[in-house]
A and B are shown apart, each in its own frame.
Chain A
């Protein structure tokens, strides 16, 4: 894996701010985009900017073909059994909402989530409580607690694979096994997992897996909901209208086949095509290589920060934290840490509660500074980062 070669694919690195090349370390929010993806998006707009499915003309046929191809690529990317199991969405949030509102959950049914979920995997179930659905919470990563909460009334477990707050992953395979043993369905929020590790949904056996394209080099506003075909067939679509039906009368309709049944209205074709290109790009580099690279950088940064006496959130073992390092410097607010890094050396990291307010509130914290790495980050960038953090740390000494 030649990072310098990879960097050349990202046009953002041609840019200079205050005479310095930016150091982007907020990939858990949105990643940078390589030229290949940008070209693919442009290709749609320049060469066949039309509707898929609906129109039979030359452009229409071309878009349909490209979207089918993109679906196939995404199927391969997560090793799904069939391409019909891939539903294109706008993002992870939409995927979760789609399941929360389309599964036939009834009053008295229970949904189980962890205590470290992104708001996207929390609020939809809080809303369902209005319909009498019960929402229970287990401690993130705590298998015993998970088991104890996994009672008969649990119809759906909806939980995150890798936390966006601190990068820690849960033993998801075991959790899926336990959920199935309990005859409950399980939705895996893969927003921080799919972009960073090899995923095989067949092996994983998750019922649903959701992730976002913009966190894996894809265009913003793209995402995927994977669902086992027989489960998708049982869902009652909640977003309906154009493209979700084959035929309609004034009193009824014949639903479209799966997966188009869930893709209501005109889709983000350019985005979907770009997303497939991103998946191809990642595949070419190799997810194992990316995972290894992130781990190496994480280990390096974590070690230096711990040496400085800085507290990290989540597991102290970097191998369990993917590409994320969440930390706080005593005496310097996390917003200040992020702001200073940005101003002093164009290092872009995120600060705040990272949409996991519930966990921070529970622990009486008001947030953290978060470094999130990806394939384009280098050791040299990490050195600059560490040096700047060292200077900030000195502010308090």
Chain B
């Protein structure tokens, strides 16, 4: 049994070093002989057993004695654990590839391939105005009965529908923006941007965005490009925002007046309540053809969900 363990462990180490490769080969020979009901000839099993027991004897003869007597059982235990962990690593790697996290879609547990968890971080989507009683869960995320009509969109009659819910001032939305933009620029994607002003003091940006969208439904992309690439500290400054409006070729005074109207403020309020119907608990949240991805993920994770 120790030979199986040695074969796998040294097989992996053998990728990097020739000495380990030799032991792995010996172990393989031993395993092969055992499988074909012959004796292991290399003596590797005894060598490993005595090395391990000898080392333990230096520290604690009782532990050494226990190990020696139950060596086969202990080797079995470690082999099984090892194989199981290899399987889990495989699954983890597979999940990481598909969902950007080892633990599966929208999970946020520790993932060795993303040790800092940067693919799973979200900003909480509890707006200060909202008074959602129950904390939302992954399972409840859905676009069902959510009216997306009023949000800025690029509708090119494509086969894929991508809805990006994010907030200008939230760090993880900002992290994910370049990737999402790449997605939005695809020919085969209809894109909707739903701004969720998590902080009350950024709600006015939604108003401005809605006004821009009313004047020219294509301009929101340029507006977003500016806001997501600038320093987050200037976002709450209305003058700055109006400068951006000017920069993208719109009349800043008209937009400012528009954003102050009751109508637009009601629209923003309505939009927020529509977004909350999705069950959102963190930004960024991206719906792609009915599937949902929470947190800033690598491009491949989004792309895989496209038709």
Listed in ascending order, the chain A residues whose CB lies under 8 Å from chain B are 18, 332-333, 335-345, 388, 391-392, 394-395
Name the B residues within 8 Å of A338 (CB-CB): 50
Contact of B46 with A by CB under 8 A: yes
Known: A343-B53, A391-B64, A394-B65. A336 touches B58 (CB 8 A): no
Residues of chain A within 8 A of B55, CB atoms compared: 343-344
- A interface footprint on B21-65 (CB within 8 Å = 1, 0 otherwise): 000000000000000000000010011011101110110010011
Chain B interface mostly: helix
* B residues 135-158 touching A (CB-CB < 8 Å): none
CB distance from A127 to the nearest CB of B (A): 25
State in angstroms the CA–CA spacing of A337 and B43 once bound together: 13
Can you list 18 A-B pairs, Cβ within 8 angstroms, ordered by A?
A: A333-B46, A335-B43, A335-B46, A336-B49, A337-B50, A339-B49, A340-B53, A340-B54, A340-B64, A342-B54, A343-B58, A344-B53, A344-B55, A344-B57, A344-B64, A391-B65, A395-B64, A395-B69
Residue of B nearest to A347 (CB): B54
Check: B76 CB closer than 8 A to any chain A CB: no
B42 to chain A, nearest CB (A): 11
Interface set of B (CB-CB < 8 Å, partner A): 43, 46-47, 49-51, 53-55, 57-58, 61, 64-65, 68-69
Cα A16 to Cα B259 with chains together (Å): 82
A18 to B55, CA, bound (A): 10
Asked if residues B64 and A336 are in contact (CB atoms below 8 Å), the reply is no
Q: Which residues of B contact A343 (CB under 8 A)?
A: 50-51, 53-55, 57-58
Q: How far apart are B58's CB and chain A's nearest CB, in angstroms?
A: 5
Q: Is the CB of B50 within 8 A of A345?
A: no
A18 — which chain B residues lie within 8 A by C-beta? 58
Q: A335-B46, A336-B49 are in contact. Are A395 and B58 (CB under 8 A)?
A: no
CB distance from B45 to the nearest CB of A (A): 10
Q: Is the CB of A335 within 8 A of B58?
A: no
CB pair B54–A335 under 8 Å, yes or no, is no
CA A120 – CA B51 in complex, angstroms? 31
Instruction: Report the minimal beta-carbon distance from B53 to chain A, rounded to whole angstroms.
Output: 5
Question: With a CB–CB cut-off of 8 A, which chain A residues contact B65?
Answer: 391, 394-395
- State the CA gap A345–B54 with chains docked (Å): 8
Count of A-B contacts judged by CB separation below 8 Å: 56
Select which of B50, B51, B57 is within 8 A of A391 by beta carbon.
B57
Give the shortest distance, in Å, between A396 (CB) and chain B (any CB). 8
Selected contact of A339 from candidates B51, B58, B61, B64, CB within 8 Å: B51
Known: A341-B54, A395-B68. 5 other contacts (CB 8 A): A332-B68, A340-B64, A344-B57, A344-B58, A391-B57
**Residue of B whose beta carbon sits closest to that of A19:** B58
Q: Report whether B61 and A335 are in contact in the complex, using a CB–CB cutoff of 8 Å.
A: no
With A391-B61, A394-B65, A395-B68: A344-B46 Cβ-Cβ less than 8 Å: no
* Complex contact A340–B58 (CB within 8 A): no
Determine how close the nearest CB of chain B comes to the CB of A394; give it in whole angstroms: 6
How many angstroms between the C-alpha atoms of A36 and B50 in the bound complex?
36
Give the distance in Å from the alpha carbon of A391 to the alpha carbon of B57 in the complex: 8
> Are A335 and B50 in contact, with the CB atoms below 8 A?
yes
B50 touches A340 (CB 8 A): yes
Distance of A342 Cα from B58 Cα, bound (Å): 11
A18, A343, A345 — most chain B CB neighbours (10 Å): A343
Question: Which chain A residues lie closer than 8 Å to B46 at the CB level?
Answer: 333, 335-336, 339
Cα A344 to Cα B67 in complex, Å, equals 14
Q: Contacts A333-B46, A335-B46 given: A344-B54 contact, CB under 8 Å?
A: yes
Bound CA–CA A333/B68 (angstroms): 11
A337 to B54, alpha carbons, bound, how many Å? Answer: 9
Beta-carbon contact of B50 and A388 below 8 Å: no
State the CA gap A247–B84 with chains docked (Å): 75
Chain B minimum-CB-distance residue to A334: B46
A334 vs chain B, min Cβ distance (A): 9
A332 surroundings in chain B (CB, below 8 A): 68
